[in-house]
Structure 1
Amino acid sequence: MIKVLLVDDESWNRDIVRTFGSWDKLGMEIAGEAEDGIEALRLMEQISPQIVITDMRMPGVDGVRLMNSLYDYFPKVKIVVVSGYDDFKYAQNAMRFRAIDYLLKPIDPKELNAVLLRCKQELEISSREQGTLALDLDVSISLSSYKQLLRVHFNELNVEGVTTVLQGMGFGLEKSGIGKPGLLWQVAQEMLLLLKELMKANAIEADTLQVEIHPEVLSSCENTTSFLLQHYAENLEHLIGQRKFKNKLNLEEVRQYIDHHFAEAVTLDAMARAFFVSKEYLSKVFKLEYGLNVTDYILNLRMEKAKAWLADESIPIKTVAEIIGYEDIGYFYRVFKKHYGIAPGEMRKQGQV
């Protein structure tokens, strides 16, 4: 049996995972449960699980520090992260390519079991192809620049841009010698994980990602690329159809789009293209509805999120800045101080967060 460790300080969250998982069918068992990272690491030594399902926010040693320790001392363990939308960017930043997948609360039973199945399949591949795991980080690093470009093109509904990036990725992977089935499995999983993120952020159902990856998909870089192109294109065309043929602009959908993308380089021009309206019209109706123009709404949202993250003193201020979309920490300090009248470090010291 494949052993699974659940890590969450809320017992009801562990109950949900325990109830929804098809453990017997997947040949798995919950071998242990922990309420924080310290207890989880102790159980790692005792029960040697192959899969760890962990929440991000816990007292003491949280999900971030737990994953860092697992990366250092248990590199073969498969990690599944559980988080809410408020933790979304934090989870992405903290995972640093180590997690197999993340589950958004409330947990969907189908998604949970699809993730568990992927973990099982990866464990089986790993056992057949020893030496593959050592290259995991190299593969992830090679994909990072393509992921950034895909986010931009997908959110701007740029089909040609998405196609060009994925084709370039396939060529780059082949040139780098990433052609083993185990490595191509990782490529397919990481890029499907990104697609899942993009779909959820644009309010599209994620059923497409619960497909089986047949062996022929992993037989070459070309086949893996074609597989990904098909799924990206299908979902992007679906999103375009939803947006383009609506009779009326849904401002709540626009607001939700901003709420999910506030940490990215969201511009009025890009949003207008994404919702098939003029930027003048979008700006006008958004301000009439919410009392703020798009730029000010994004700024306020970023500052609210920054203040909330500052309350967790285990998170460096630089990381807080990155989570909400500021790569230049100096600029973040200036914007934050102008907004709140106090520097982020001082606000944290004075306990005003």
Structure 2
Amino acid sequence: MKALLVDDEQHVRHAIQLLGHWDDLGIDILLEAADGNEAIEAITAHQPEIILSDMRMPGKDGMALLEWISAHAPHCKVIVISGYDDFELVRHAIRHGGMDYLLKPVEADELNASLMKAVKSWEEEHTLRAESTKQSIVVNRMRPHYQDRLLTELAIGRGNTSAHIQRLQEELNLPCLIPMCCVAVTSLSHLDADCLAKYRSQPDLLVFSVLNICAEMMRTPTEGVTFRQLNQPDEIVLFHWGALSSLTRILDSINDGLEQTIQRRLHFGVSTCENYPAGISGAYLDASSKLWRRNTIGTRRRIHSTLESSSRNKGQRLTAFEEPMRIAALSCHAASVTDTVTEWLEPFTKLEVIGAEQLQQWMQELEWMLSRWLDDAEGQFSPEEESAEDQFPPFAELPFDPEGLLSFPLLRSLLEQRLLAAGKALTAQRHADPDPMREIARYMETHYQEDLSLQQIAARFYLSREYISRKFKQQFGLNWSEYLGKLRINNAKLLLQNPSLRVAKVSEMVGFQDEKYFSKVFKKIEGMTPAEYRKTILQRGS
């Protein structure tokens, strides 16, 4: 804590220094000023908590100084020490925030009692200010989530009451009269795996990037709003109060911005214009259907205003071919797996229309089949409750190319790799009683500095993502990503003991691509930032 002594007489400042119990009061820095102008410079530069000032000084006197402090540094605690027992001076001091008015020559007990009162008052107010700031931060952080929740409820048909619409209007400053609305929906799961991999450690960064660009192009609430559909976290929704033609222009601008930011363009499903708010939920479902039923082969347009795919392919389920795939997987023979996958896939290569929802269904069926095979082979187990983060990566990876279209080579390769992996795992279970989770942990311990993902681990150890998530947590009490995070932080703690290594370099050496994200994870686990940890360790060693 800092204190500033303001008096034009140096011997008075020296006497006050000798009388004060500064260390006992927690004041470790004493500043001096000979008049009000010097005091203002010191306050601006050093921001002292306590100020002791004379009233009669040449230049800017104590009265003018108190007026300046009241306007520019109101949190400072001011004690006036004056040689004048003048009612007007006392009143002026009180009016402008002075806590005490002491007469010269000041007594030590009187001075220290005033100082103690000032320090205690400042600390109490500082605690209240800190708590108020913390509450403001929480409110500001929660506000976007609250707004997203209000808009999500409206989109799914639970928020069209007059009270809900009133809250939306007040919270988002929406126009009083919105006669019509059209809706656009996009999903980040329609991006290719290479793009999603760049944001694997910070999936929210991708969401925020897309949301910010959408909001920037929408410009103001009088034009429309953008939000994250909280029931489908990979989904971004736009409500537009104008015509469909103007929404199309906005979406084109959004894709131009995305091209520059994430080097990709997104696909959007758009609805017809409907009455607001009654028609919102129907328009949302319409736009979502058009996105997921877009044709993923042969069409390169990004804005989908019609239902493009046919529902007749829905009968072609992956599970209908489950037994041939299981037998091929158990053979552990690459050629047999390739032949089986080709046999199943061949009819689809001749189609002109395959919807995005069909691809999603196949991927879900694949994970379900592999997980069930492994569970059946192992026997009964007692499943633990798992979070969505434990079960799935941040966004599902579908076999899309950078244009957001189906890649048959990617789909074929994905199926072959997963079936071969499952076959090897099933064969190993029949001939031995290995500890695959321990093997995964050992692999992570030697490859923690690499950009690991659950999908990569699953492919390497011939297991499904869901199986690894469940068994790893059962065995270690942590999901695999938490285990990897602690492993990286423990190694980072060792490296931070070397003062020659910059924090950014340590972050890179333990597998974090982003220094800010590294610091965030480090503080979450250790309760302090990497820099604070290094300082603590070096101080202990000195």
The two structures have a TM-score, normalised by structure 2, of: 0.23
Return the structure number with greater helix share.
1
